[in-house]
Amino acid sequence: MSIPITDNQVVPLFAVPLCKTRIDPCTKEEIDYLTTGIDYKERLHSIAWNSVDNYILDDPKVADVKRKVMDQVNEFLFGYLDVDPKHEFYMTTSWMNRYQKNHYAQMHYHSNSLISGVLYLTDCEETADIVIHKDKSNTNIFTDTVNIDHKDFFDTDNKRSYLYHQREMRLSPKPFELILFPSMTNHSVDVNVQTEKTRYTLAFNTWVRGTIGDSTSTLVLK
């Protein structure tokens, strides 16, 4: 199927979809439980803390948070990406992240998952950004071995050009904003340089149920 492109139109070919949305605010009881009402352990491969429970949203105390998050995941998949509604996506693991002073997360991706997400429970503007990294197997306008300069994002009126030549995207989400992305996407968290503020986020992974593939490669996932 050919896609119509008008004269002088530039399109982001084979773009990686990323969604920033938000959920209705959590209650004080839900926030208190997720931030200070659970146990934490040192995080693997990073300087930070994870919840001991890797299925935190399966707790009935935060069932409404899980519902609101999955509503946004489904809107992303079926409303924006036009995934066939015969597929059912569900949350697998979910865990809390706690970043105190000088904590960070090195670049990583999420294994055994299709769509991952991060829900922000505290304001990270003064603590640390999440950084989305371009896959090194993909080139921008020019190959990475040729250093062609571009205008800074804030110095050009053509903000669309940012899509074509940047090697990373930085986001500073507000409380109750939700970032969704393909789980294979590399991302990291900047160092938390604040002394007073602790950064709390809730991360999760998803998988799919149903029949996938064509007649010669059918797979039934339950």
**Contact call for residues 112 and 208 (beta carbons, < 8 A):** no
Q: Any idea what the CATH number is for the domain that residue 163 is in?
A: 2.60.120.620
Question: Given this model, what pLDDT does residue 4 score?
Answer: 83
Q: What's the domain range around 139?
A: 19-213
Task: Tell me if 220 is assigned to some domain.
Answer: no
Q: How many CB atoms lie within 10 A of CB 190?
A: 18
Which tokens hold the place of 150? 């571009």
Task: Tell me if 194 is assigned to some domain.
Answer: yes
Q: How many CB atoms lie within 10 A of CB 194?
A: 16
Task: Tell me if 45 is assigned to some domain.
Answer: yes
Where residue 101 falls among pLDDT bands split at 50, 70, 90?
A: confident
Beta-strand relationship, 115-120 and 199-212: antiparallel
Task: Tell me if 221 is assigned to some domain.
Answer: no
Q: Which residue has the higher pLDDT, 86 or 15?
A: 86
Sorted by sequence, the CB contacts under 8 Å of residue 100 that are 6+ apart come out as 48, 49, 192, 198, 199
Task: Tell me if 6 is assigned to some domain.
Answer: no
Average per-residue pLDDT for the chain: 87
Q: Which residue has the higher pLDDT, 139 or 105?
A: 105
pTM of the model: 0.88
Number of domains in the chain: 1
